């Protein structure tokens, strides 16, 4: 299952991938799952929708084999933090993103995921992950390591406590 999660306001990011996914469905057998607050009713074969639910979000995402995060390249998207990519990676879901906002800092292209700019890159990288089990396993492992080592509570605990001690306990003001 290839999937995407987001809100009704970000469903537009799927538009560029629809023709690519249609072509790929002629070559490969896969389900495309959208997890959102509104069903976009995509014109795809093997398409399914799961209404977003806070209580089941992690379980719903865990069913994905590949997670997608396409974005446009505007000032608004440049301010995005890459949370969707981090969610996928924390769950060991091989991730493909646009090189927008923090995504290029989170994903090392070809190491812990793929970064795609052109439609051809999206098509090729999705194809690669559909057929290359070893690459999916590597991205799964490396993605979890990335989140654990750079974005987890444990990764930031000593920095946070040091700043807290310096600024609050010692009475210094920023």
Structural domain spans, the chain: 2-169
Is CATH 3.40.190.10 the classification given to domain 2-169? no
Please state, in angstroms and rounded to a whole number, the distance separating the CA atoms of residues 105 and 111: 12
Cβ contact 129:96 at 8 Å: yes
pLDDT of residue 79: 83
Q: pTM for the complete prediction? A: 0.91
pLDDT of residue 2: 99
**CB count, 10 Å around CB of 71?**
20
What single DSSP character describes residue 165?
Answer: I
Please state, in angstroms and rounded to a whole number, the distance separating the CA atoms of residues 72 and 164: 37
Residue 30 has pLDDT above 70, yes or no: yes
% of the chain at pLDDT higher than 90: 80
Average pLDDT over every residue of 124-134: 99
pLDDT of residue 172: 59
- Angle among Cα 41, 82, 36 to the nearest 5 degrees reads 20
Please state, in angstroms and rounded to a whole number, the distance separating the CA atoms of residues 18 and 24: 10
Element (H, E) at 23: helix 18-27
């Amino acid at each position: 299952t290839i999937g995407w999660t987001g809100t009704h306001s970000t469903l537009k990011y799927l538009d560029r991938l629809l023709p690519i996914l249609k072509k790929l469905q002629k070559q490969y057998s896969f389900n495309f799952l959208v997890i959102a607050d509104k069903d976009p009713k995509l014109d795809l074969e093997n398409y399914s929708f799961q209404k977003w639910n806070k209580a089941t979000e992690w379980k719903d995402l865990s069913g994905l084999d590949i997670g997608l995060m396409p974005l446009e390249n505007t000032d608004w998207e440049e301010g995005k933090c890459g949370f969707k990519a981090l969610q996928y990676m924390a769950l060991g879901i091989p991730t493909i993103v646009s090189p927008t906002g923090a995504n290029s800092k989170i994903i090392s292209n070809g190491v812990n995921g793929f970064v795609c700019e052109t439609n051809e890159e999206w098509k090729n990288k999705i194809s690669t992950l559909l057929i290359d089990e070893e690459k999916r396993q590597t991205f799964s492992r490396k993605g979890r390591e990335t989140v654990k080592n750079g974005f987890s509570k444990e990764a930031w605990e000593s920095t946070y406590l040091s700043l807290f001690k310096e600024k609050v306990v010692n009475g210094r003001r920023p």
